[in-house]
Structure 1
Amino acid sequence: KTIDLMTRNHLPGGADIAALARAPIADAGSGGTGFGLGVAVTIDPARTMMPGSAGEYFWSGIYSTQFFIDPVERVHAILMTQQMPVPTIPVRRDFRTMVYAALM
């Protein structure tokens, strides 16, 4: 029950980040992403323009670290890097694309 509560979108009215943010948020600026309790949550995979499932949750850290858990596909992955974030390098998108491509 705790994980279910944490990974549910808690934004008002079930909105996504793009609808509420004044400026794009680095890893969630394309829409389709909400916020749970301590994690970002995919609510509309098509709008994220990345591989994944509704209900997937993730977070990005400094130096481009990443993790995501996709309970639908039963996939989880962690990327530990030491690369200062660079807006021209889509680390999250590339990482997920490679993980899901390896599963096919």
Structure 2
Amino acid sequence: MTGVPLKHQRISRILAEEIRGGSRPAGERLPGEHALAQRFAVGRTTVRAALAELSEAGLIATRTGKGSYVLSDARRLDDRPGRARAVAVHGVGSRLRTLAVHGTHDHGLAAELGLD
């Protein structure tokens, strides 16, 4: 291996630098795959691989049919209230669907939470 980054790694690095540098703020929609493919003179498969790397790094979220949005400028998110709320602070919407709610009597948990 020569140490030369692959095309998708180079694109991912450039976009990450733009995000971290502030030229792509949290909540901004990135250009579409076609536009990025033209900008970097690569195929859309290469762009998808770069976007996947950015997603894995927590810098963007991609929604099918909607596009890719900047989640963070690489500052650590305060996700104590939950990830959805933490990214919402940065202007990125999300949806939550409750599948089921079950009542339980867990005396240990109640005591830990200071409940009767």
TM-score, normalization: structure 2? 0.23
Q: Which has the higher contact order (CA 8 A, sep 6+)?
A: 2
Could you say which structure has the higher strand fraction?
1
Could you say which structure has the higher helix fraction?
2
**Which structure: larger Rg?**
2
